[in-house]
Amino acid sequence: MDLKTICEKACLIAKEAGVFIKNERLHFQSNSVEVKSFNQLVSYVDKSAEEMLVSGLLAIFPEAGFITEEATIATQTKEWMWVIDPLDGTTNFIHDLPVYSVSIGLIQNNKVMMGIVYEVNKDEMFYAWHKGGAFLNGNAISVKNNPDLGKSLLATGFPYYDYQQMDAYLDTLKYFMKNTQGMRRMGSAAIDLAYTACGRFDAFFEYGLSPWDVAGGICLIEEAGGIIADFEGGNNALFGKSIMGSSSALFPAFSEVIKINFAK
């Protein structure tokens, strides 16, 4: 399996979808927005971009199945699976806040082997493959090697539909607000993970996410030298609906705060 070649081809497909998304934003009308469920929005842009991604990825790796956010192709469980979010940050897109991305992951038996996050408006292509390193627009990237929580900048995503763990989340947020250099909320988990992989953020955490939100970013952080885990410290970040990631230097202090609060 030549993951590097597949990754390079998949980046071109991600870029094509990203250009489509950016062009559609120029004349996008809010009356084309649909509500899938509470605070879960979608438009023809998400669906069309996903169809482009599925078609392109199917051509370069026909043996792989798909897990997609908008279900434009039926999920078929196979050894290799593409995990796609055609527009991560749909709410930002709808409100013309220029922070959204295309996210692609490739998993083998539920292990993430490749990740791509294309930040549409900044034209930044983050990509990585298993044992191949992580890159941004052709340059190698790595997580920030900072062991001091007090000197860190963290990213998170606010709960927007699942509020069952809100108290634990707010306790965690309160601690980090008081004991770090700041918190940021971009509105795209894929971008948060990519920015952590290249050292713009020291760490990221969020709960209530789906596999397509995090698959691409998981590979980026791991290949950039970081650690990914679920809120219990386990290895189910892809499907477990909670994720935290940082450098190995910061992870003990960072993860302990989350584990303690969410274990209450």
Q: What is the pLDDT of residues 176-205, one digit of tens each?
A: 999 999 999 999 999 999 999 999 999 999
Architecture label for domain 3-140: 2-Layer Sandwich (3.30)
Give 17-76 pLDDT, tens digit per residue: 999 999 999 988 877 777 766 556 668 899 999 999 999 999 999 999 999 988 778 778
pLDDT in tens, 72-107: 787 788 999 999 999 999 999 999 999 999 999 999
pLDDT surpassing 90 at residue 108 = yes
Place of tokens 């497909």: 13
Q: Could you tell me the residue ranges of all domains in the chain?
A: 3-140, 149-262
* CA 41 – CA 87 distance, rounded (Å): 11
Q: What 3-state DSSP class applies to 197?
A: helix
Q: Which of 95, 115, 107 is nearest to 245 (CA)?
A: 115
**Of 89, 117, 122, 82, residue with least CA distance to 103:** 117
Task: Return the CATH class of domain 149-262.
Answer: alpha beta
Q: Does this chain's domain 3-140 share its CATH topology with 149-262? A: no
